[in-house]
């Protein structure tokens, strides 16, 4: 009997050992006994020889599902690379990249894809106007008959690109987001057999096993929409770049501006798309401000913002006002003792939602009624701080009338389509919301975009906060149709200072400044940062292990279960922390790692 290593989805790194009558190649799906039930796993190459384990002591594989490896070699190698680089097990990596039916053991036809010859190359397409970039992508797709993936961070962009393609070309491919879950699995299987030449899609299309993949296009590679929202947290661009290398496929990276990592490769901004004449900076300290009942702070709504809003509305154009603060007020404080009202369940900050008359925890999401007195000192006077979108809506209606003011509070409901908005509001109006309303510019081109509190975008306690803020405002200036006549009103306490100053010059100037600062502080992309969430009672031992191994680390002051590590030595770190990821630690708690690469 042969000992076979099997990777099973789980928080551990451990490959489980089973026996079989003959050796199995890596990447084969097998059904194995695990506990009181059975699971589907993937055969893997054992990282360490099983010298101390006898075959007689190991359970047998129940069933071999595939006779040949069901995945293209490039995709299996991508999964293994992803697991090692992101500090997860191969089973978890496969679960993150592959469809559910695959790991449920659904049958697949045998295919024998031949290895692709040649070498991969990287091409950069950084054009601020969406139509210009998509025209380049279309030319790449139509100029070749080779298999291709064209990927976009949002559904609306993928559909817009699909609509640009000639009808005969569409017959060779598929628009992935238009498919139901069942049809996606059907087309996933067809792509293995070479029945689909190309796919246009979003995140869910990133790892389709297209036979003979020759080109991967990733639009808006700098967008945060490419980041996953659940563990394992990763940016699709990084994994797709690795996949292109393993597949010997060309990689096309594009967008309105590059990410930090890509900028280090391409250098200066050759496009030089200036928007200085479209920017209007307003000093919030000198701007008109409006008070809201029960809220201490005032909302700045400057005369330039009111003027540009009126001008756009008179021309029949839409206006977007952006404030990344939901609810009526960011939080509630006691006037007597100064204590904030905290969540009784987790201690998190509670947001005041006036429309529901409730407080909502920003951490755990629990909802509580507004207390009649301070939970800390019993004081009767509570007041809100940092007015939000609900307060902004009241002032917008008082300034511009009650009709044509649309609030998207981003409370978990889906933003309506642009078509439905324009149908319900045939005359242009003002759309209020968080940064998410920028997606509407794909079909509704606003005449004015107003950033109510631009400083708040860069106030987040993250090393890349300024880059995120710059990217958002650059996007608001260029995204959608006919952006050249759009005015951007930026209300700030330090207008045209620091990162805001570079908006009028371009992203090349911004990245030169930003990366110089990051290099001095040894921050990503120069030195990766890793966040390790570990059960609190294990943190002290992990800190001692990191100290002994010579790693640069620090313990979180806010959380008792978090340690940060700054290092380029991933292999050495993996050896140091490997014992914490053994399957034996399942009950006591296995850590989770988040990586910051750029």
CATH number of 2-103: 3.40.1440.60
Asked if residue 355 has pLDDT above 90, the reply is no
pLDDT tens per residue, range 538-550: 999 999 999 999 9
Do the domains 276-326+388-519 and 122-256 match in fold?
yes
Asked if residue 197 has pLDDT above 80, the reply is yes
Q: 464 by DSSP, 3-state: which?
A: coil
Asked if residue 95 has pLDDT above 90, the reply is yes
Question: Two tokens at 68?
Answer: 């040949």
Domain 529-596 fold is Alpha-Beta Plaits (3.30.70)
pLDDT of residue 178: 76
- Average pLDDT value for residue range 47-63: 73
Q: Strand locations in 21-140, DSSP E?
A: 29-34, 37-44, 63-64, 122-126
Q: Rounded distance, CA 85 to CA 64, Å?
A: 29
Asked if residue 150 has pLDDT above 70, the reply is yes
- Chain mean position to CA 247: 24
402 to each of 34, 228, 393, 586, how far by Cα in Å?
62, 39, 10, 57
Q: Rounded distance, CA 299 to CA 292, Å?
A: 8
Asked if residue 411 has pLDDT above 70, the reply is no
pLDDT of residue 408: 87
- Average pLDDT value for residue range 400-407: 86
pLDDT of residue 496: 79
- For residue 135, the surrounding DSSP H or E stretch is helix 130-142
Asked if residue 465 has pLDDT above 70, the reply is yes
Q: Which CATH number fits domain 122-256: 3.90.25.10, 3.90.1150.10, 2.40.50.140, 3.40.50.300?
A: 3.40.50.300
pLDDT tens per residue, range 254-304: 999 999 999 999 877 666 667 899 999 999 988 889 999 999 999 999 999
Instruction: Report the 10 Å Cβ neighbour count for 385.
Output: 14
- Average pLDDT value for residue range 354-360: 83
Residue 140, φ and ψ in degrees, nearest 5 = -65, -45
- Note whether 94 and 9 are within 8 A (CB): yes
Asked if residue 583 has pLDDT above 60, the reply is yes
Domain 276-326+388-519 fold is Rossmann fold (3.40.50)
Q: Rounded distance, CA 244 to CA 199, Å?
A: 15
Q: Rounded distance, CA 225 to CA 246, Å?
A: 24
Question: Two tokens at 497?
Answer: 């200072």
Contacts 24+ apart (CB under 8 A), 21-25: 24/64, 25/69
* pTM of the full structure: 0.92
pLDDT tens per residue, range 214-270: 999 999 999 999 999 999 999 999 999 999 999 999 999 999 999 999 999 987 766
pLDDT of residue 55: 64
Share of the chain above pLDDT 70, in %: 96
- Note whether 27 and 43 are within 8 A (CB): yes
Share of the chain above pLDDT 90, in %: 79
Place of tokens 């990245």: 511
Q: Rounded distance, CA 266 to CA 524, Å?
A: 17
pLDDT of residue 474: 96
Q: Rounded distance, CA 488 to CA 124, Å?
A: 27
pLDDT tens per residue, range 105-129: 999 999 887 667 778 899 999 999 9
pLDDT of residue 53: 62
- Average pLDDT value for residue range 8-16: 94
pLDDT of residue 172: 95
Domain regions of the chain by residue span:
2-103, 122-256, 276-326+388-519, 529-596
Q: 150 by DSSP, 3-state: which?
A: strand
User: What confidence category does residue 529 fall into, taking pLDDT thresholds of 50, 70 and 90?
Assistant: very high
pLDDT of residue 113: 72
State the average pLDDT for the chain: 92
């Amino acid at each position: 009997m042969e000992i076979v290593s099997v990777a099973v989805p789980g928080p551990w790194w451990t490959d489980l050992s089973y026996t079989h009558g003959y050796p199995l190649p890596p990447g084969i799906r097998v059904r194995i006994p695990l506990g009181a039930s059975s699971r589907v796993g993937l055969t893997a190459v054992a990282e360490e020889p099983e010298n101390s384990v006898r075959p007689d002591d190991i359970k047998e594989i129940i069933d071999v599902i595939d006779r040949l490896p069901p995945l293209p070699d490039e995709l299996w190698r991508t999964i293994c690379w992803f697991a090692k680089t992101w500090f997860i097990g191969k089973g978890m990596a496969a679960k993150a990249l592959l469809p559910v039916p695959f790991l449920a053991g659904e049958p697949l036809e045998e295919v024998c894809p031949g290895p692709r010859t040649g070498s991969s190359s990287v091409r950069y397409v950084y054009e601020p106007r969406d139509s210009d970039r998509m025209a380049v992508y279309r030319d790449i797709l139509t100029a070749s008959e080779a298999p291709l993936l064209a990927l976009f961070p949002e559904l609306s962009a993928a559909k817009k690109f699909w609509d640009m393609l000639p009808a005969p070309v569409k017959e060779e491919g598929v628009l992935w987001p238009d498919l139901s879950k069942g049809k996606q699995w059907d087309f996933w299987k067809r792509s293995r057999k070479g029945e689909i030449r190309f796919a246009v899609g979003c995140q869910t299309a990133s790892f389709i096993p297209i036979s003979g993949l020759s080109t991967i296009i990733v639009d808006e590679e700098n967008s945060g929409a490419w980041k996953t929202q659940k563990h394992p947290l990763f940016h699709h661009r990084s994994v797709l770049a690795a996949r292109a290398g393993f597949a010997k496929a060309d990689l096309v990276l594009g967008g309105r501006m590059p990410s930090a990592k890509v900028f280090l490769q391409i250098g200066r901004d050759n496009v030089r798309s200036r928007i200085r004449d479209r920017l209007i900076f307003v000093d919030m300290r000198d701007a008109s401000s409006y008070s809201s009942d029960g809220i201490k702070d005032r909302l700045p709504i400057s005369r330039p913002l009111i003027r540009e809003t009126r001008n756009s509305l008179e021309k029949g154009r839409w206006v977007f006002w952006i404030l990344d603060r939901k609810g009526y007020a960011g939080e509630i404080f006691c006037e007597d003792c100064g204590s904030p009202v905290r969540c009784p369940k987790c201690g998190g900050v509670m947001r005041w939602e006036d429309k529901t008359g409730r407080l909502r925890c920003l951490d755990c999401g629990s909802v509580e009624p507004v207390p009649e007195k301070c939970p800390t000192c019993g004081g009767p006077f509570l007041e809100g701080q940092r007015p939000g979108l609900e307060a902004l809506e009241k002032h917008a209606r008082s300034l511009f009338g009650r009709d044509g003011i649309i609030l998207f509070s981003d409370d978990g409901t889906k933003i309506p389509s642009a078509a439905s908005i324009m149908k319900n509001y045939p005359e242009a109006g003002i759309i209020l919301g968080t940064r998410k309303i920028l997606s509407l510019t794909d079909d509704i081109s606003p005449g004015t975009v107003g950033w109510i509190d631009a400083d708040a975008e860069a106030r987040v306690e993250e090393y890349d906060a300024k880059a995120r803020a710059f990217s958002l405002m650059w996007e608001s200036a260029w995204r959608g149709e006919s952006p050249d006549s759009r005015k951007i009103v930026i209300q700030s306490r330090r207008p045209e200072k620091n990162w805001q100053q570079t908006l009028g010059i371009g992203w090349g100037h911004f990245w030169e400044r930003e990366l110089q600062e990051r290099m001095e502080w040894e921050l990503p992309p120069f030195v990766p940062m890793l966040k390790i969430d570990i059960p609190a009672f294990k943190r002290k031992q992990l800190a001692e292990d990191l100290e002994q191994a010579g790693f640069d680390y620090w313990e979180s002051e806010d959380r008792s279960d978090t340690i940060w590590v700054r290092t380029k030595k991933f292999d050495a770190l993996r050896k140091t922390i490997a014992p914490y990821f053994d399957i034996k630690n399942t009950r006591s708690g296995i850590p989770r790692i988040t990586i910051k690469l750029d």
